[in-house]
């Protein structure tokens, strides 16, 4: 429990100097507004004064003692903060604008410590309650602490001169033909996208039976084995054993249906043993919790990233994720989940792929190839996604006209590149996708 006899971390004199500088020197205010927010000051009076200063700034009005006093008076808060006399005292204590940013950082640090105390106290109190889901509490606690750290660290504005050197390094790698992102294993797709880029949210969508999971697993396998990347797969639909069987059969190129029926030819047994080697060495992590909420996914991904073992996240699939908070509609729930996945990609600076369902209206069209408007339940998915991929197989609808095994990976959206369609081959025997070849058995990923 928190020790109520001890004063929380504070720096009242520093707060006075910062506010005084803002009142005295117009150039001091913008730097402070970039670092501090309402509530960061220990004294409530200082928060009210800061709020008045920020209101003037947002209205593009000059900041000085008189206008600040008028703003506080208008909101009936002037006397509560100490009147004009106290504002004059603050001006007398002002430091020079050159030092205001350093002092604002001190105020921010004290505020962060107080937030940490409050959050920790809340977690301790929860621990004393009757908690059924301990793992859920651990994930929730980790998320709260992580949220504090994210609020404390800000990237700020960076001069372009500091960014040019890294940009030219990227350009040099482009010129060498080096793939910048996580490889998908599909040459034509990687040529269009440059691989899956850090901080990107990739949506992989398709109608049932098109092979969304199979395609995602093919990409995960290639990234983990050939790309030597650490991949986390959150499967809310299929079990760990089912996923591993799929990965193993695809790697060994053996018939998955025969394996499950116990009819696998003896000649294929050594293939499985041989395929297990690369998979065993790959950094592929699988979580098959069927009731995962978005908070748990973010917490588990952050934990892996903090251990230095996470380059790529795949979630199968978006509509099965629990939102972890109540919303008025299903559309709002999906929008919240979509935004949270995009935030995860940005926070961890890794690509996050989420599989998604498509609306049934595709079935009613003559051309059943999916479109962005077919994304189910929320337009927010399209807005949040950096890349939207659709998987489409004509043979699912028309076995006579559709080329056996031929699949299309449609780039329906690419924030930093063209939209296009590339072909791939779906091998039904072991439920995997490979680089396109008219005959599946001749294709090698």
From 237, 394, 395, 408, the catalytic residue: 237
Residue 255 phi, psi dihedral angles, 5° rounding: -70, 115
Sequence-ordered list of residues with C-beta below 8 angstroms from that of 406, at least 6 positions apart, any chain: 393, 394, 395, 423, 425, 426, 436, 438
For residue 285, give the nearest of 234, 351, 219, 239 by alpha carbon: 234
**Exposure string for 86-117, b = 16+ CB within 10 A, e = fewer:** bbeebbebbbebeebeebbeebbebbbebbbe
Q: Could you tell me if residue 29 is left (phi over 0), alpha (psi between -120 and 50 degrees) or otherwise beta?
A: alpha
Q: Evaluate whether 409 touches 393 at the Cβ level (below 8 Å).
A: no
- Report the C-alpha gap between 161 and 169 in whole angstroms: 14
Q: What string of DSSP letters covers 328-360?
A: SSHHHHHHHHHHHHHHHHHHHTS-EEEEE-B-G
Let me know if 189 is exposed, middle or buried by CB neighbors in 10 A (0-12, 13-18, 19+): buried
Please calculate the CA angle 281-241-318 and round it to the nearest 5 degrees.
Answer: 95
Provide the edge-to-edge strand list for the sheet that holds 312-316: 284-287, 231-235, 312-316, 352-356, 201-205, 387-392, 406-414, 420-427, 432-435
237 noted as active-site residue: yes
C-beta neighbour count of 440 within 10 angstroms: 20
Tokens encoding 310: 């996470």
- Report the C-alpha gap between 29 and 63 in whole angstroms: 8
Residue 93 phi, psi dihedral angles, 5° rounding: -95, 5
- Report the C-alpha gap between 347 and 302 in whole angstroms: 9
Sequence-ordered list of residues with C-beta below 8 angstroms from that of 318, at least 6 positions apart, any chain: 203, 334, 337, 338, 341, 354, 355, 356, 357, 381
Residues that are catalytic? 237
């Amino acid at each position: 429990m928190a020790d109520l006899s001890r004063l929380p971390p504070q720096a009242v004199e520093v707060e006075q100097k910062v506010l005084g500088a803002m009142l005295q020197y117009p150039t001091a205010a913008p730097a402070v507004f970039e670092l501090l927010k309402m509530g960061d000051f220990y004294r409530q009076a200082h928060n009210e004064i800061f709020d008045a200063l920020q209101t003037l700034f947002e209205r593009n009005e000059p900041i000085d003692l008189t206008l600040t006093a008028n703003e506080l008076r208008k909101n009936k808060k002037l006397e509560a903060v100490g009147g004009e006399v106290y504002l004059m005292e603050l001006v007398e204590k002002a430091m020079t604008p050159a030092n205001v940013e350093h002092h604002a950082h001190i105020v921010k640090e004290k505020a962060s410590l107080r937030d940490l105390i409050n959050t920790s106290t809340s977690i301790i109190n929860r621990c004393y309650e009757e908690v059924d889901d301990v793992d859920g509490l651990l994930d929730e606690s980790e998320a709260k602490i992580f949220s504090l750290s994210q609020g404390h660290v800000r990237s700020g504005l960076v001069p372009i001169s500091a960014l040019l050197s890294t940009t030219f390094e990227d350009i040099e790698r482009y010129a060498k033909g080096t793939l910048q992102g996580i490889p998908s294993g599909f040459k034509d797709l990687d040529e269009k996208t440059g691989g899956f880029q850090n901080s990107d949210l990739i949506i992989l969508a398709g109608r049932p039976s098109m092979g969304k999971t199979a395609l995602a697993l093919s990409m995960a396998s290639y990234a983990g084995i050939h790309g030597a990347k650490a991949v986390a797969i959150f499967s809310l639909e299929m079990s760990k054993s089912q996923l591993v069987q799929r990965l193993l059969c695809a790697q060994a190129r053996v018939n998955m249906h025969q394996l499950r029926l116990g009819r696998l030819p003896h000649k294929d047994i050594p293939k499985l043993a041989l395929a297990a080697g690369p998979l065993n060495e790959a950094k592929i992590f699988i979580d098959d919790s069927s009731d995962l909420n978005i908070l748990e996914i973010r917490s588990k991904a952050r934990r892996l990233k903090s251990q230095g073992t996470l380059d790529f996240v795949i979630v199968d699939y978006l509509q099965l994720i629990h939102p972890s908070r109540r919303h008025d509609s299903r559309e709002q729930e999906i929008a919240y989940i979509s935004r949270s996945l995009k935030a995860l990609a940005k926070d961890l600076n890794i690509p996050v792929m989420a599989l998604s369902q498509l609306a049934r209206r595709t079935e009613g069209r003559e051309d059943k190839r999916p479109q962005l408007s077919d994304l189910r339940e929320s337009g927010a998915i399209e807005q949040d996604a950096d890349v939207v991929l659709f998987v489409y197989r004509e043979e699912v609808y028309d076995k006579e006209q559709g080329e056996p095994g031929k699949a299309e990976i449609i780039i329906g959206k690419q924030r930093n590149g063209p939209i296009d369609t590339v072909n791939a081959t779906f091998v039904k025997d072991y439920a995997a996708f490979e680089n396109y070849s008219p005959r599946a058995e001749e294709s090698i990923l």
